[in-house]
Amino acid sequence: MMPELSLTRRDLLSVGAGLALSPALAALAADPDRPFRIGACDWSIGCAGQVRAMETARRLGLDGVQVSFGSPDGEFDLRKEDVRRRYMDAAGEHKVAIASLAMGVLNQVPYASDANAERWVEECIEVMPKLDQRIVLLAFFGDGDIKGKRDLQDEVIRRLKKVAPKAEAAGVILGLETWLNADDHLRILDAVASPAVKVYYDVANMDHEGYDIFAEMRRLGSDRICEIHCKENGARLGQGRVDFVKVKEAVDAIGYRGWLIIEGAVGPGQSMEESYVHNQEFLRSIFR
């Protein structure tokens, strides 16, 4: 067992100011096997789909970044070998990890109805082993929303059943992030019947929909939840609607041990840097 490290606010503020990491933070960053590692979405730290997200994460004291996988016309398209190399070099240089990938592009190009989206998911599956990645978030918001749309949910099932064998062969997981409740998520997962398709659980989104997030997490379990977004809308973590102490209790109950990815969670009138110093300090104090 690793010795417990006590992170002071001064430790974390020094990172936010762009100074060298404290010994405590450096020790945390050097231990990839601890139960919980804390990352952030690249779009939440102002670096959507950009390699500089790795440097920003290091400056903020994060352990890793959830990196965007977008359409083929992006400047930092992960389909390109040279772009992947730049990400891996930056990760090594700044000693942060690529925690997972995310296809937020599916909010504008719906997976349930667009042939491009279907093809891009297959391309992402091909890319993931080349980046040593296991999880990709498939987003179902905006134009891609499938809540209350049984026909679109059934089409998602059809498409996932077709692509799941490729994901299984690649050893990767497609994580569905939606507005759906546990019942609807389980209907989709049971119909697809593949270990390569799971739920990407966002506590703030599910709370926004009025679901009992703690009961839902227990019902889904760690075998159905691939990764977790720790998010608040319009508030820093611990200062909004979500009770993260109870989230930790649910996480412990199901035995989840993996990345905690911070999304949003910027306080009113506060900078991203100030908010994210607080956010990771808060999470580290609970998820010891």
Residue 17 has pLDDT above 80, yes or no: no
What are the tens digits of pLDDT across the range 203-221?
999 999 999 999 999 999 9
Q: What percent of the chain has pLDDT over 70?
A: 88
> Strand (E) positions, 234-281?
259-264
Residue 74 pLDDT level (bands cut at 50, 70, 90): confident
Q: What are the beta bridge partners of residue 103?
A: 138
3-state secondary structure of 166: helix
Tell me which CATH homologous superfamily contains domain 36-286: Divalent-metal-dependent TIM barrel enzymes (3.20.20.150)
Closest by CA position to 160, among listed 116, 134, 195: 195
Instruction: Please report how many Cα atoms fall inside a 13 Å half-sphere around the Cα of residue 149, on the Cβ side.
Output: 16
Q: How confident is the model at residue 288 (pLDDT cuts 50, 70, 90)?
A: confident
| Confidence grade of residue 82 (pLDDT, cut at 50, 70, 90) | very high
Token pair listed for 249: 């209790």
Check pLDDT > 80 for residue 93.
Answer: yes
Domain extent listing, the chain: 36-286
Q: 114-119: list long-range contacts, CB under 8 Å, 24+ apart.
A: 116/71, 117/144, 118/159, 118/163
34 pLDDT band, cuts 50/70/90, is: low
Residue 5 has what pLDDT?
32
What whole-number distance in Å separates Cα of residue 156 and Cα of residue 160?
6
Q: Is 128 helix (H, G, I), strand (E, B) or coil?
A: helix
pLDDT digits (tens, 9 = 90+) for 218-257: 999 999 999 999 999 999 999 999 999 999 999 999 999 9
Q: Report residue 21's pLDDT band, with 50, 70 and 90 as the boundaries.
A: very low
Stretch 104-124: mean pLDDT? 98
In Å, what is the CA distance from 5 to each residue of 1, 27, 29, 288? 12, 8, 12, 9
Strands (E), the chain: 37-41, 64-68, 97-103, 135-139, 173-177, 197-202, 225-232, 259-264
Query: What type of residue sits at position 16?
Result: G
Query: What does the radius of gyration of the chain's CA atoms come to, in whole angstroms?
Result: 18
pLDDT class of 32 with cuts at 50, 70, 90:
low
CB atoms within 10 A of CB 123: 14
pTM surpassing 0.85?
A: yes
Classify residue 83 by burial, with Cβ atoms within 10 Å: 0-12, 13-18, 19+.
middle
Tell me the C-alpha distance between 102 and 4, whole Å.
32
Both tokens assigned to 5: 């490290």
Residue 52 has pLDDT above 70, yes or no: yes
pLDDT of residue 73: 87
Which two structure tokens, joined as six digits, stand for 209?
A: 């929909």
